[in-house]
Amino acid sequence: MALTFLHTADWQLGKPYQRVTDETKRARLQHERIAGLRRIGDAAREANAAFVLVAGDLFDSTSPLNATVAAACEAIGAMKIPVLVIPGNHDYGGPGSLWQQPFFVREREKLAPNLRILLTPEPVVLADAVLFPAPLLRRHDHADPTAWIRHAFESPDFPTQLPRIVLAHGSVQGFESAQDDDDEEAKGLNLIDLKRLPDAEIDYIALGDWHGTKQISPKAWYAGTHEIDRFPKGSDNDPGNILLVQVSRGEMPLVEKKRTGHFRWNDFPYRFSEDEGYPAFETALEQRIGEWGQDSLLKLSLEGTLGIETSQRLAQLIESLQARLLRMKIDDRVTIAPTEEEMQALARRPGDPLIESVAGKLIALTAGEKSDIARLALRELYATIS
């Protein structure tokens, strides 16, 4: 009979979202990571899952706030079924770690007796499966955390008829935790060599660390984070999911992706060719935001050229969107190219010789090394006479 369970990873509860400057918006993002656990619990009940696996990084750090610990334990306790967790690089184990701290121990015992932290690299025999956990006991390790599993089947002291599941956190085949402006992780550490694991002895490999859902081999998957937490990098990055897995001993696993993410982190690239095209850009962007909803985080990637007046309109739009959206990240490579009419309006002002003089010097500078600064200055100067 097939065993059904949920594979999740990288909850990173308590993530600070340091680049979101508005405190209220930052709190909404942090709260949703906890709220998403309810969706995991709903999916587990709907599928009649035997347990939930968390392949590392339940918390974002080794010292989460007590409020975060309490909220996590309460949400996990509400799932009712066993939740089995290994430490990852963000909440690594070892002596004196979070997992041994008195407050966590008390809250787990009181609110989440179904939560089990796997701190030892040894087989864990459950009623319907055998787990092979590879916990990280330090943040960065040069050793393969799954190395012990290579020899775990030579003299098995566990039921051989139960499905066998590896639980690991780290990088394989070039896939590692994608860095963004909130994360600066060292690369080339916590490497997992799947090729050295005895494939015939293992039925499923539940991986964590890569924040998008990704199949690595017929038996190995990254679940990705349950709630998207960064702008996706590349078309193969698919965060905001959990995996529903069915396994039987000696059979290929059946894996189904389940969407659990709430927020949308969107990328909107655009290249301007002339001022006349700006209204079409603004219309298209507003339409996309309407489709995404206000609970959006937007990376606006802009290129091309705009005149002074149109670039002012763009700056005002950006200011508005920064207030409306949860977060806006801008990659602005737009060049300000004053139109002939705009340069004449600045350079021919007989009634205002000071502005005429300053404008003439700035216009001359637009042809030199300081052209970008000069164009910005021209825009500000133009605003004073508009």
pLDDT tens, 259-281? 999 998 989 999 998 788 899 99
More confident residue, 323 or 43: 43
The Cα 54–Cα 292 span in angstroms is 29
User: Cβ-count burial of 348 within 10 angstroms (0-12 exposed, 13-18 middle, 19+ buried)?
Assistant: exposed
Contact at 8 Å (CB) between 292 and 328? no
For tokens 């216009």, name the residue. 363
Backbone angles phi, psi at 378, to 5 degrees: -65, -40
Integer Cα distance of 44 and 79 in angstroms: 8
The pLDDT > 70 percentage for the chain reads: 87
Dist CA 240 CA 254 (whole Å):
20
CA nearest neighbour of 105 among 62, 70, 68 = 70
Give the start-end residues of each E strand in the chain: 3-8, 52-54, 83-85, 115-117, 124-125, 130-134, 164-169, 204-208, 214-215, 220-222, 241-247, 254-259, 264-272, 296-306, 327-336
pLDDT top residue among 315 and 359: 315
Please count the other Cβ atoms lying within 10 Å of the Cβ belonging to residue 11. 30
Neighbours of 180 (CB within 10 A): 16
Instruction: Count CA within 13 A, CB hemisphere, residue 253.
Output: 30
What is the rounded average pLDDT of the residues 284-291? Answer: 90
Q: Which of 1-5, 52-56, 348-352 has the lowest mean pLDDT?
A: 348-352
Q: Please choose, from the candidates 101, 86, 92, the residue with its C-alpha nearest in 3D space to the C-alpha of residue 55.
A: 86
Which tokens in the block code for residue 139?
């943040």
| pLDDT tens-digit readout, 188-197 | 678 999 999 9
Q: Rounded distance, CA 15 to CA 48, Å?
A: 30
What local confidence, expressed as pLDDT, does residue 335 receive?
79
Q: In what order do the strands lie in the sheet with 220-222?
A: 124-125, 130-134, 164-169, 204-208, 220-222, 214-215
In angstroms, how far is CA 374 from the centroid of its own chain? 38
Note the pLDDT tens digit of each residue in 42-86.
999 999 999 999 999 999 999 999 999 999 999 999 999 999 999
Beta bridge partners of 132: 166
Domains in the chain, start-ordered, CATH in brackets? 3-259 (3.60.21.10), 263-337 (no CATH), 338-386 (no CATH)
The DSSP output letter for 163 is: -
